Chain A
Amino acid sequence: MQFSFPLWFPTSVAILCAAVGATAAPHLPIDDAQVLERLPSRTTPQFRELKVLQAAAAQAPNDLSRAVALATAYVRASRVEGDPRFLGYAEATLAPWWKDPAAPNAVLVLRATIRQSSHRFDDAVSDLNLVLQRDPRNAQAILTRATVLTVQGRYEEARADCDRLGRVAPQIYGVICAAAIDSLTGRAGSAYDSLERALLTLPRIDGAARVWGETLLGEIAHRRGDPAAEAHFRAALAVGDRDLYLLGAYCDWLLDQARPGEVLALLQNETRVDPLLLRLALAQKALNRPEAGQSIDALAARFDASHARGDTVHQRENARFELALRGDPQSALRYATADWQVQREPADLRILAEAAAAAKDAAALAVVRTWLTETGFEYPAIAALAGDRRLAAK
């Protein structure tokens, strides 16, 4: 069941034609006051800060510190808005240094962040390796590398970075980083306990660390079937920062608990963000809402548009869409398998297992079982899907 990328090429022209053609008809609005597009809020302090940084950088485009400040603000905006355009703006801001293999450390760290977001994980790691050769105590680089290595499933290297991180950054970062990896490698119980204790006792825990830590606790509890997940997700939400990942993780838990009504309430206004629209559509479908059809159409159009531009960063969501909303296990399995070649996070394994089980694909199920055995990853629901009774009972 190996998925090969060249499979895409013959179909890409057809998809592109569909995407270019599939729109409503161009029209002439009648009313000057008609609102055509809503932009991210312009009244927030973040937006004002962005404006100031833009002006400063525009005055001196080759000034490294101004460019780095602006690019950092863009990267942050991309996270808050979930809009990859900001990553492009950050890249453009760093243009004078972008192609330089030995660019300054601050540029390399940002470049690694931007590259990993388009799934160029190996390029990101090599940028970070260079930073850490020059400056072994660069906490930012250590943390980003640990994260990228985790996504790639390179747990031992990632775990070493977490230990290093604990020595150069506030301790809580090292604990969260380590707990994230331990929870994937057969030590979920102890990771959960030590992280929970650390969040209660350690000093210097800011809002972002708390959101990250509580979300991780929620996810571990979710996988272990522990109802404590809810309290952790709520603690993370209570910090008050808009966090799209947290919203997605909490909604996944709610969907698994058969509480789609709450998902509806949480995501009603998040239809621009594709992974959240996906969860909204799942909730609408579970509730037999007529709006489900609209959401499914919108998702299909966005996946088509993404294929047309040659992107493959959406394959996890695409697989889930095909399986749960289109009811096409074969297609879902193709996406899930391709996704698994690139990303090895719990969500990637779960959709692979679900699609493989639905498609009754023994080879793909064996991939899942092998992964569970080799890493010790504890996720009984996946083990049950993969037909591993021993791990499922754990």
Chain B
Amino acid sequence: MKRWLLIVAAAGIAWLAGQVHAHKPSDSYLTLSVESETISGQWDIALRDLDFALGLDANQDGEITWGEVRARHADIAAYALSRLRLGPATAPCPVKVTQQLIDDHSDGAYSVLRFTATCAAAPKTLEVGYRLFFDLDPQHRGLIRLEYRGATRAGIFSVDQPEQKFTLTQLSRWEQFLDYGKEGVWHIWTGFDHILFLLSLLLPAVLVHSTVAGRGWQPAQSFRATFVDVVKVVTAFTLAHSLTLSLAALGVVSLPSRLVESAIALSVVLAALNNLRPLVYGRRWVIAFGFGLIHGFGFASVLSDLGLPQDALLIALVAFNLGVEIGQLAIVGIFLPIAYALRSSGFYRRVLFAYGSTAIAVIAFVWLTERALNVQWIGA
């Protein structure tokens, strides 16, 4: 009868052809991000697989609890890391686990290992050796995603292909410069708060505030005077935000981002309100400079999100800043001729200037309440 046990089992198996892959098979997900000689990584490994290898379910009740996983963190890290090699076999980069978390994928819970590896020098090609679970489950696959300088590459490790080599194309200095410059332009064009602040200060540039009470804003008489006014505002804004951007990027000063973002919103509100009830008009460059300092901190947080290359810090900083200025000048270049041409019309003064400034103030006030939410002294 024993002979038929096998045939019965196999009858079902064979007959299930095409249906056997009912579950997702075993995969792990490895993400590496290379930043000169430092590699930071995240490795998601299914708890199911770790249980088969290490026996996580300590009390054998068929349920893996967080406590059971936590108790084995050291074993999990040691098991996984001994099966991963970053760098050449002769001189692998030492890897240290920084954090172990849990994530839910479509097919169950995964242990998430976050780690950093420090290589002797910035690798030109990164060799990765992967042997996780291949001895226990040759159908296991390691899916790798490598991020380097904004580009992402993918690969699959299998028992037949446990080694992969990634060429880390070194961008030339000039390419790096262009990259960060583009980011700067892009940031000012997509950063509506900066644009609205600038517009609030530029809207009155083609007008003159009459000293005669009750006459309000009148069209400017000369393009020269208007141009000088614009140059003063833009230059002041540029100087100020370049200063704080540099200080923040170099780590000299740092401010909490909610404070910075709220202050930026406030600066837009005040600049727009100043058009409706002018407190400062002749010397708007002073506003531009004062608040420009705050906007610089905003730019700096974008730059730090992009990741500053330690080997080319100055290049990145200068390029990003130049990008911001170019983006800003483009806005001025489009705005100024149109505004100057329209300055005498009622449409400009009543609709664009008055309603425009009101709309900007309202939008910025909404930002302010959003960004400052829970901050008592601003009083949302």
Contact = CB atoms under 8 A, between A and B. Distances in A.
B244 interface: no
A91 B21 CA distance: 15
B18 A84 contact: no
B276 interface: no
Interface string B22-62: 11111101010000000000101001110110000100111
A37 B29 contact: no
A385 B42 CA distance: 49
B8 A208 contact: yes
B279 interface: no
Contacts of A95: 135, 138
Contact of B136 (A81, A92, A170): A92
Interface in A67-110: 72, 75-76, 78-79, 81-85, 87-89, 91-92, 95, 98, 109
Given A17-B145, A75-B9, A311-B25, A212 B15 contact: yes
Contacts of A305: 24, 27, 105-107
Contact of B139 (A88, A140, A244): A88
Given A89-B137, A245-B19, A36 B145 contact: no
Interface in A295-338: 298, 301-302, 305-306, 308-311, 313-314, 316
Contacts of B22: 82-84, 244, 273-276
Contacts of B101: 26-28
A274 B23 contact: yes
A197 to B, nearest CB: 20
A281 to B, nearest CB: 13
A331 B101 CA distance: 37
A72 B4 contact: no
A173 B9 CA distance: 13
Contacts of B60: 42
Given A40-B62, A88-B137, A206 B4 contact: yes
Interface stretch (B66-74, B202-210, B219-227, B322-330): B66-74
Contacts of B140: 88
Interface string A34-66: 111111111100000000000000000000000
A183 to B, nearest CB: 14
Nearest to A51: B60
Interface string B68-112: 011000000000000000000000000000000111111111101
B244 to A, nearest CB: 32
B141 interface: yes
Nearest to A94: B138
B121 interface: no
A133 interface: no
Given A29-B66, A39-B48, A76 B9 contact: yes
A89 B25 CA distance: 12
Contacts of B139: 84-85, 87-88, 91, 118
B24 A274 contact: yes
Nearest to B70: A32
B20 A79 contact: yes
Contacts of B25: 84-85, 88, 309, 311
B10 interface: yes
Given A16-B154, A23-B103, A85-B26, A248 B65 contact: no
| Residue picked from A38, A151, A301, most chain B C-beta under 10 Å | A38
Given A72-B6, A89-B136, A36 B64 contact: yes
A245 B140 CA distance: 24
A85 B48 CA distance: 10
Interface string B1-21: 001101111111111111111
Interface stretch (A141-149, A222-230, A254-262, A365-373): A141-149
A41 B61 CA distance: 8
B143 interface: yes
B152 interface: yes
A83 B23 contact: yes
B63 interface: yes
A22 to B, nearest CB: 8
A392 interface: no
A200 interface: no
A24 B106 CA distance: 9
A175 interface: no
A36 B102 contact: yes
A75 B7 CA distance: 12
Contacts of B152: 17
Contact of B52 (A85, A148, A209): A85
Given A23-B105, A28-B102, A147 B14 contact: yes
B47 A151 contact: no
A24 B24 contact: no
Contacts of A147: 11, 14-15, 17
A302 B110 CA distance: 15
| Residue picked from B8, B19, B27, B52, most chain A C-beta under 10 Å | B19
A265 interface: no
A313 B21 contact: yes
B17 A301 contact: no
Contacts of A81: 23
A42 B57 CA distance: 10
A140 B12 CA distance: 11
Contacts of A151: 17-18
A266 interface: no
A20 B62 contact: no
B153 interface: yes
| Residue picked from A211, A274, A343, most chain B C-beta under 10 Å | A274
B112 A20 contact: no
A389 interface: no
Contacts of B109: 36-37
A257 to B, nearest CB: 21
Nearest to A342: B18
A76 B135 CA distance: 20
Given A82-B20, A316-B18, A173 B11 contact: yes
A81 B16 CA distance: 12
6 contacts: A16-B156, A17-B152, A26-B101, A37-B108, A72-B9, A298-B106
Given A38-B64, A118-B21, A208-B12, 11 more contacts: A29-B102, A35-B64, A42-B62, A84-B21, A88-B138, A116-B17, A117-B16, A143-B14, A244-B19, A245-B12, A245-B16
Interface of B: 3-4, 6-27, 29, 31, 42, 44, 47-49, 51-52, 57, 60-67, 69-70, 101-110, 112, 114, 135-141, 143, 145, 152-154, 156
